[in-house]
Structure 1
Amino acid sequence: MRGREVAFAGLFAALTAVGAQISIPIGPVPITLQVLFVLLSGLVLGARLGLLSQLVYVVMGAIGLPVFANFNGGFTVIYGPTGGYIVAFPIAAYLAGLFTERLGRRGMLIGSILGVGIIYLLGWLRLGLFMGGDFEKAFLLGVTPFLPVDAVKAAVAIVIADRVRKAVEIG
């Protein structure tokens, strides 16, 4: 792995941490800009480096660095109600990157949809378990309010990634 690749992966881990701090509390799961940067990491860096950048982010938070929403960190956050969303970030970045690598610009949309879908799936499952198995309530609180917001984030990520990929050769 080249130094430039490591730097880009570190940059997107840091951007995801910054995006976590831009937070609007609306219930057990806040609206943040994390999803935007998770998608961007895969769309811009590709599957391997996107995955790596989000693994770095998750590990930083797991060891206690305050990189999660509201300057939280530690394994208790990953085990808490929003942990499923966080654990899904590396997978989402990988999917966004994989489809972009395979299908180009058209793959950005598919990868973004699948990436957001895996974030919702794992987040919803963890939130449902945290709520004592009330998966319907977990869906209403942890997925439904985010659909329009994350659709906008995905669209913005695609536009930004397309421009960045044209301007900067990564990898």
Structure 2
Amino acid sequence: MENEFSNRISVKNIVLAGMFAAFLAVMSQVSLPMPTGVPITVQVFAVALVGVILGWKRGVLAVLVYILIGAVGVPVFANFKGGLSVLTGLTGGYIIAWPVMTILCGIQPKTQNAKLNMTVNIILSLVGLAVCEGVGALQWALLSGNDLRGIIIYSLTAFVPKDIVLTVLAVIIGRQVRKRAAKAGEL
């Protein structure tokens, strides 16, 4: 696993990045539009899962591919949207923070204690979620002219509880998938 991402980008890494960017595009369409302009989605689950399964380097590559594809106009963002206007719009801060979340979700602790490894992985992932929520709320407040405190309170009721559960589930599921894929020699 140490050489999961060499200095060169291998064909395997390119394929994995493409496959997981496609996974993010599909998962981004599981969305419930809201009158606030910020939809309820399961994207956090997908981003965390990508980081945990691929590790931080490959995970960031997949997320950046997804973001770049969306930025050039391919409708891969929630509700089949694409273009720079999404990244510079109300929801853009959340998406822009995904690479940070992916890094934190993708750090694989290597202690001799499996429970400690899982706990550290969950804590790092929740810190990544907090960064994502913070950057997203800040951009939303700046662009909408709404009070940041009000947006944070709304987020804490509408998004954060669901996102905490989804992030923890992604870590639990992702660690199992990663372990099985590594045994099969696929990662």
TM surpasses 0.5:
yes
1:4 is aligned, of 2, 9, 12, to: 12
Contact 2:24–2:66 under 8 Å retained in 1: yes
- Mark the CA change 1:7 to 1:158 in structure 2 (over 3 Å): closer, same or farther: same
Superposed displacement of residue 135, structure 1 = 0.7
Residues in 2 aligned to 1:101 and 1:93: alpha-carbon distance in whole angstroms: 15
Instruction: Summarize deviations over 1:91-127 as a string: whole Å, max 9, x none.
Output: 11011112x2456433320221011111101101100
- The answer as to 2:154 corresponding to 1:141 is yes
Looking at structure 2, the residues matched to 29 and 102 of structure 1 have their Cα atoms a distance apart, in angstroms, of 37
Task: Give yes or no for contact 2:60–2:99 (8 Å, CA) kept in 1.
Answer: yes
More helix by share: 1
Deviation at 1:143, TM superposition (A): 4.3
Give matches, 1:7-86, under 5 Å: 7-26=15-34, 27-86=36-95
For residue 138 of structure 1, report the CA deviation from its aligned partner.
1.9
* Other structure's SS at 1:21 match: coil
| Dislocated runs of 4+, deviation >4 Å | none
Residues 48-72 of structure 1, C-alpha deviations (whole Å, 9 max, x = no match): 1111111111111110000011100
Q: How many Å separate the matches in 1 of 2:94 and 2:156?
A: 10
Larger Rg: 2
Question: Aligned partners of 1:3, 1:12: CA distance in 2, in Å?
Answer: 14
Aligned to 2:171: 158
Q: Please give the TM-score of this superposition, normalised by the length of structure 1.
A: 0.91
| Root mean square deviation, CA, Å | 1.6
The residue number in structure 2 matching 1:90 is 99
State how far apart, in whole Å, the 1-side matches of 2:45 and 2:23 are.
10
Letter in 2 for 1:76: S
Using structure 2 for the length normalisation, give the TM-score. Answer: 0.84
Alignment length, in residue pairs?
170
Question: CA-to-partner distance for each residue in 1:106-155, whole Å, 9 max, x for gaps?
Answer: 33202210111111011011001012152122213344311211122112
Unaligned runs of 5+ residues in structure 2 are 1-8, 112-116
Name the CA distance, whole Å, in 1 between partners of 2:14 and 2:156. 33
Percent of paired sites with the same residue: 39
Higher mean C-alpha displacement, 129-138 vs 84-93:
129-138
